[in-house]
Structure 1
Amino acid sequence: MIPLTVSELYDRAVLHGGDLVALSHGERRVTYGELGDQAARLVGAFSSLGIGHGDRVAFLMANCVEYVACEYAVANVGAVRVPLAVLLGNDDHVYMMTLARCSVVVYHRRFASRIAAMEPLLDMVEHFICVGGEDDELAPGHLGLEELLATNEPVHVSPSVDPEEIAGIYFTGGTTGRPKGVMLSHRAWFHTYWMETLDFAIAPREGFVFATPMTHAGGCLILPVLLRQGRCIVLDHFEPQLLLETIERERATATLLVPTMIYALLDLDSRDGYDYTSLRNILYGAAAIAPDRLKQALGVFGPILTQFFGQTEAPMALAALQREDHVIVDPRRELAVLTSAGRPTFATQIRLVDDDGVEVAPGQAGEVVARAPNMMSGYLDNPEATASAIRDGWLFTGDIARRDEEGYYTIVDRKKDMIVSGGFNIFPREVEDALFEHCAVKQAAVIGVPHEKWGEEVKAVVVLREGSTVSAQDLIDFVKAAKGSLMAPKSVDFVSEIPLTNLGKVDKKAIRASYWDGRSRNV
């Protein structure tokens, strides 16, 4: 199979979509034909500005229909998209745009003040394009997207782009240091979209609600939905009531959520006042979900959930727990299956290896190494990190997992989060899963903290459910009964909230800092 470029995929979607609605935001509707016209007008604008093949275009955007037209146009001129996570700070954004050598920044008007603060530090940027801003609100020298659409004629081009050329640069979360720029080719994106369509069962005429950032994982689903002549239903922010109102009004059939969003839906008192029966698929991932909350979600929404496990270096899904996997026939297998990441996705191979690269025995913990056609080309300007991550064609993910006799992979932790106490390896996620089984625990994070004799000991940081009380010793004893004394926390701290990263994951780096700062070692 010869991979198509991102531009060719958009062209194909628009050709087949015609007068169907491609995008909606509130009362606004954009057909496939209108999307193609907007992208072609932006191609004309970009060409007149000298934006073309190989240029890097940064996006600091809220969810909006214009983002899709911009992404389409960037692909059509052969440029490279560089999406920025909006919850990161200005220092990180300046670092990313400088490393990627971005010559264009497309930003939403709500981020205008941030762009103004960063602009003096971005000498390499030649054009700033604002989405949604009035002409009299634009900063000097900045261009308005609406004006570009109104004043440029459509230009239809077929860029000469090799599938191995870089289509986008996506930055990692930077939980252990500076974010790394992951270079993803057109070939990688083609296979990502193909695998998502199959493994996530994207249906014809899907009505997909985009409630997570389109500049992150959510955006990976835009083309799979459009290629099935579906509709991208855009939310510019997440609120549980807004999501349910939108599902009811639009008769939406699918969405993507992170676990904290699912928790918010489950905890919404007015949830049963909405009709969400049109939903046939809820994709979830990006962080571990508490087993009891997953069972609660299945009780509320039915067996329509699909979990994905992946990373920026191989977008979206190396493994998936399909909807049918959530229907447990054997109760003895329930916890094992529901806490797993599922099985490898279509066209993905997975092995588990030890520190020497030797494959471990079934049931033993090992690092997940994967081989898939959607793997990254490498890290931007970082050959050492690339060589460490990709060895002999295999991607070393840094995730530790076990494989059971039915081929389900259970992620036990990130390799860097593993606790070594007295020479024994302890995986925090296994302790967290045990804590989540306690009725009083709402959130939990487990880390290793300094211990003079053992090197590290297990500490749990816990948020209790409203109105619940439990002692630290009770929780310690609860885990000890379930997992044994080695796994049991030696101390428990109760907090009002647990810090999250910009991607909605528990920020272990921030939690660890308060216990390790000032130490000469970090393990």
Structure 2
Amino acid sequence: MNLGRYVRRTSSHQPEAEAVVCGPTRLTYGELDEDSDRLATALLDLGLRRGDCVATLAANRAELVVTEVALYKAGLVRAPVNARLGEHEVAHLLRESSARILLTDASHLDAARQAVPGSEVKTVIGYDGPSDLGPGYTETLAATAPEAVDVDCAQDDIAVLHFTSGSTGKLKAAIQTHGNRAAVLRKMVMGPETRIGPGDRQILAGPVTHASGMPLMGIFFAGGCAIVLPRWDAEEFLATVQRERATHAFLVPTMVNTVLALPHAHEYDLSSLRRLIYGAAPMSPARIREAWRFFGPVLSQGYGCGETTSGVLFLSTEDHRRAIEDGDEELLLSCGRPRAEAEVAVVDEDGVPVPDGEVGEIAVRGPDVVPGYHNEPELTGQVFRDGWFLTGDLARRRADGYVFIVDRKKDMIISGGFNIYAVEVEAALHQHPQVYEAAVVGVPDAQWGEAVKAVVVPRAGARLGEAELIAFCAERLARMKKPRSVDFVTALPHNANGKIDRRAIREPYWAAASRRVN
């Protein structure tokens, strides 16, 4: 198998049709096919072979899409590095992935200079041109003949190392295989909530290296156009829908919130939009209703994670209509029902499904569930059992199959669509000499879904301020991980084992919230 074949096939059918739009860059299918062949050839000419790893470190741009297609064609493993991570985290990911080539943009060259030493990276290709680290992307393509590249891959060959934070604060990589990615492609064209067809135009608003980029191959399989936003801007999103006559979009709730807050949002023509999928963070029923009034009857919701490659539970547009117009209001608290090929169960500690209405852990199995974590056999054994992936999300199931998340076993905070782990932030807080003890929890936030809250016990006699601690953490963490607020207390609650009781800390902040997580 080779997912790049679908780009070549679509190119043969409609070479002049638009495949990618990103800022001023527009690529036809013919250009996407040729450029990805050139890049695939160039990478193989550098000595890479099937299964070798290539990393990317860049903000959204058309070249990232070309790179993804090229790596599929060449049978190479892609290790996308979140462009918002710090230099130490980038260095860690390069070492963990064993990447031999890094493609990066000009704004991340300094990070690359710091991260490449100690890794296996031999060549750095600059999307914005040559540098002291290596050749330029455009120059590399121009010097390479556009020969068709089609390396045959097995279903269980690694396609992507999808890095995400672990429960210890350590970045880990979910192994997404070519079979996993093919399952996502099938889901894109089969599912009523995700289906896209020839000529449809989907806006990808978040980083295409991560969740927002999951639909890419489904779009290309169907002959649609991927409209990639270089960065998030609510007004530019609305302008893009109007200008490009976009038919589909995927947003995280934070993006929805910023759109709804625009005073002139109603001035834009959004009549072309047929489906707006949201997910990856909490969104209150009140805000969902507001979005329904603004965007119209086009909303649907997806629930999934890197380990499931994409969404496995969906709250359909019809579900939204039933909730908002027919009075089944509880549905707006649900993350939906299983769709496509994934099986979803709510299980107890032994993996046995619990009765409807009782709380258990969400478990998922199917062709889109990854086989495990890269170089993490112990962690893989903990969360992948008998073919099931244990998500760590606690939920109950309604008799008609709708799943309602009630809490998380893991101490993960989802803020603006990004996963943040409490222990990582706590580790930074504990580096401050005047902090005696600290706990970090997610608290309700109208814009971000959840915000990082630090609850801190200062050392005796310390004079410690909120702004000082937040600035201290900002020097040690990626920006989205720093606390948004700090509460100072005289003591933290502990459980019978002497461990900090985060649930007891978190509960007062969520007591008035109608919805815990999405």
Number of the residue aligned with 1:245: 239
Number of the residue aligned with 1:59: 56
The amino acid across from 2:226 in the alignment is C
Number of the residue aligned with 2:513: none
1:29 CA displacement = 1.9
Please state if 1:90 is matched with 2:84.
no
Structure 2 counterparts to residues 90-129 of structure 1, below 5 A: 90-122=87-119, 124-129=120-125
Secondary structure of residue in 2 paired with 1:156: coil
1:5 CA displacement = 2.9
Secondary structure of residue in 2 paired with 1:22: strand
In 1, the alpha carbon distance for the partners of 2:169 and 2:338 equals: 29
2:315–2:337 CA contact under 8 A, matched in 1: yes
Number of the residue aligned with 1:178: 170
Please state if 1:373 is matched with 2:367.
yes
Number of the residue aligned with 2:305: 311
Q: 1:410 aligns with which of 385, 404, 409?
A: 404
In 1, the alpha carbon distance for the partners of 2:324 and 2:267 equals: 33
Number of the residue aligned with 1:72: 69
Q: Unaligned regions of 5+ residues in structure 1, if any?
A: 419-427, 430-445, 450-456, 466-492
The amino acid across from 1:279 in the alignment is L
Number of the residue aligned with 2:353: 359
Secondary structure of residue in 1 paired with 2:410: helix
| CA separation of 1:33 and 1:368: change in aligned 2, threshold 3 A | same
Cα deviation digits, residues 428-465 of structure 1 (max 9, x gap): 99xxxxxxxxxxxxxxxx99x9xxxxxxx999956689
Q: 1:148 aligns with which of 140, 155, 158?
A: 140
Number of the residue aligned with 2:322: 328
Please state if 1:276 is matched with 2:270.
yes
2:91–2:114 CA contact under 8 A, matched in 1: no
In 1, the alpha carbon distance for the partners of 2:70 and 2:489 equals: 46
Secondary structure of residue in 1 paired with 2:116: helix
1:207–1:231 CA contact under 8 A, matched in 2: yes
| CA separation of 1:509 and 1:348: change in aligned 2, threshold 3 A | farther
Q: Which moved more, 1:8-17 or 1:226-235?
A: 8-17
In 2, the alpha carbon distance for the partners of 1:511 and 1:364 equals: 35
In 2, the alpha carbon distance for the partners of 1:213 and 1:277 equals: 25
Q: 2:47 aligns with which of 45, 50, 53?
A: 50
| CA separation of 1:275 and 1:166: change in aligned 2, threshold 3 A | same
Number of the residue aligned with 2:280: 286
1:514 CA displacement = 9.0
| CA separation of 1:321 and 1:508: change in aligned 2, threshold 3 A | farther
Cα deviation digits, residues 404-441 of structure 1 (max 9, x gap): 122110111211249xxxxxxxxx99xxxxxxxxxxxx
1:378 CA displacement = 1.3
Q: Which moved more, 1:303-312 or 1:329-338?
A: 329-338
| CA separation of 1:461 and 1:514: change in aligned 2, threshold 3 A | farther
Number of the residue aligned with 1:425: none
The amino acid across from 2:152 in the alignment is S
In 2, the alpha carbon distance for the partners of 1:205 and 1:143 equals: 36
Cα deviation digits, residues 467-506 of structure 1 (max 9, x gap): xxxxxxxxxxxxxxxxxxxxxxxxxx9xxx9x999797x9
Number of the residue aligned with 2:180: 188
| CA separation of 1:387 and 1:34: change in aligned 2, threshold 3 A | same
1:108 CA displacement = 1.5
1:44 CA displacement = 2.4
Cα deviation digits, residues 59-80 of structure 1 (max 9, x gap): 1121111111111111222110
Q: 1:131 aligns with which of 127, 135, 140?
A: 127
1:121 CA displacement = 3.7
In 2, the alpha carbon distance for the partners of 1:214 and 1:503 equals: 19
2:323–2:332 CA contact under 8 A, matched in 1: no
Structure 2 counterparts to residues 221-240 of structure 1, below 5 A: 221-240=215-234
Number of the residue aligned with 2:499: 521
Secondary structure of residue in 2 paired with 1:180: strand
Secondary structure of residue in 2 paired with 1:143: coil
Q: 1:207 aligns with which of 201, 210, 215?
A: 201
1:183–1:380 CA contact under 8 A, matched in 2: yes
Q: Which moved more, 1:332-341 or 1:383-392?
A: 332-341
CA RMSD of aligned residues (A): 3.4
In 2, the alpha carbon distance for the partners of 1:459 and 1:70 equals: 37
| CA separation of 1:292 and 1:280: change in aligned 2, threshold 3 A | same
1:306–1:321 CA contact under 8 A, matched in 2: yes
| CA separation of 1:370 and 1:516: change in aligned 2, threshold 3 A | farther
Secondary structure of residue in 2 paired with 1:249: helix
| CA separation of 1:376 and 1:265: change in aligned 2, threshold 3 A | same
| CA separation of 1:76 and 1:517: change in aligned 2, threshold 3 A | farther
| CA separation of 1:270 and 1:349: change in aligned 2, threshold 3 A | same
Secondary structure of residue in 2 paired with 1:190: helix
The amino acid across from 1:254 in the alignment is H
In 2, the alpha carbon distance for the partners of 1:503 and 1:100 equals: 23
Q: 1:32 aligns with which of 23, 29, 32?
A: 29
Structure 2 counterparts to residues 389-428 of structure 1, below 5 A: 389-417=383-411
Number of the residue aligned with 1:484: none
TM-score (norm 2): 0.80
Number of the residue aligned with 2:295: 301
In 2, the alpha carbon distance for the partners of 1:406 and 1:458 equals: 36
Please state if 1:7 is matched with 2:1.
no
1:10 CA displacement = 3.2
Q: Unaligned regions of 5+ residues in structure 2, if any?
A: 415-421, 427-438, 448-465, 502-518
In 1, the alpha carbon distance for the partners of 2:281 and 2:378 equals: 27
1:286–1:503 CA contact under 8 A, matched in 2: no
Structure 2 counterparts to residues 163-174 of structure 1, below 5 A: 163-174=155-166
| CA separation of 1:508 and 1:155: change in aligned 2, threshold 3 A | same
1:333 CA displacement = 5.0
1:43–1:74 CA contact under 8 A, matched in 2: yes
The amino acid across from 1:159 in the alignment is V
In 2, the alpha carbon distance for the partners of 1:459 and 1:182 equals: 24
1:146 CA displacement = 0.5
1:9 CA displacement = 3.3
| CA separation of 1:458 and 1:104: change in aligned 2, threshold 3 A | closer
Structure 2 counterparts to residues 257-268 of structure 1, below 5 A: 257-268=251-262
Number of the residue aligned with 1:470: none
In 2, the alpha carbon distance for the partners of 1:208 and 1:459 equals: 35
1:142 CA displacement = 0.8
| CA separation of 1:508 and 1:288: change in aligned 2, threshold 3 A | farther
The amino acid across from 1:100 in the alignment is S
The aligned length equals 452
The amino acid across from 1:219 in the alignment is G
| CA separation of 1:80 and 1:40: change in aligned 2, threshold 3 A | same
| CA separation of 1:29 and 1:331: change in aligned 2, threshold 3 A | closer
